[in-house]
Amino acid sequence: MRLTYETGKAAMIQFIVLGILNIATALQSIIATCGHSGGDCVGNLLSSVIYYVLIVGWFGVILLLGFAAQEGRNKRLALSLICAELAVLAVASYNIKLDHFGFHNGILSLITSCIDVILSVWVISIAYRLIKASGGRVVKRQRRSKNSTHHI
């Protein structure tokens, strides 16, 4: 499937994939904390739920921006989408950097951050193409007009 200007569909894919991965990461964290006798199971459960709601809320905003930019082919909305994705990219990159120092909760959290970076770059590239199209149709390259004259 090739998405040329469909920022909404790309943002939806990002929303679904990262929603599922964040559920898995939260469950892994809760199970690990509740499995230890000295862990604060209830506190971790509460913080994981709050974190998940914030994540879903933020990606929900990105999803709305993606569909609004796609439907309106609006430069400002596409630029807003790029800014939101740059924030996601910065946080995910920081999480990956934390893994370098050994602060990650596990391999699933690292994989989630890496997929987050990949999807953010993908959505940014589609939104950028939408901006470059100036509200028109996004095409791979400019076609020559049949009426154009060639000077040799």
Tens-digit pLDDT profile for residues 95-125: 888 766 666 667 888 888 899 999 999 999 9
Q: Does residue 92 belong to any structural domain of this protein?
A: yes
> Which range marks the domain in which residue 50 is found?
7-132
- In order along the chain (152 residues), what is the average pLDDT of each group of 10 residues? 75 92 86 75 85 92 92 88 94 81 72 91 92 65 54 52
pLDDT at 142 (0 to 100):
53
pLDDT at 146 (0 to 100):
54
Q: Does residue 33 belong to any structural domain of this protein?
A: yes
Q: Does residue 34 belong to any structural domain of this protein?
A: yes
The Cα 88–Cα 81 span in angstroms is 11
Total domains in the fold of the chain: 1
Q: Does residue 147 belong to any structural domain of this protein?
A: no
pLDDT at 37 (0 to 100):
67
pTM exceeds 0.85, yes or no: no
Q: Looking at the chain, how many residues does it have?
A: 152
DSSP 37: T
Q: Does residue 35 belong to any structural domain of this protein?
A: yes
pLDDT at 32 (0 to 100):
79
Each as own residue / partner, the long-range contacts of residues 57-64 (CB below 8 Å, 24 or more positions apart, any chain) are 58/84, 58/88, 59/11, 59/14, 59/15, 59/18, 59/19, 60/15, 62/11, 62/14, 62/15, 62/88, 62/123, 63/8, 63/11, 63/12, 63/14, 63/15
pLDDT at 97 (0 to 100):
81
The Cα 110–Cα 64 span in angstroms is 27
Give percent helix, percent strand, percent coil of the chain, each to the nearest 5: 75, 0, 25
pLDDT at 96 (0 to 100):
83
Q: Does residue 138 belong to any structural domain of this protein?
A: no
Q: Does residue 98 belong to any structural domain of this protein?
A: yes
pLDDT at 111 (0 to 100):
87
pLDDT at 64 (0 to 100):
94
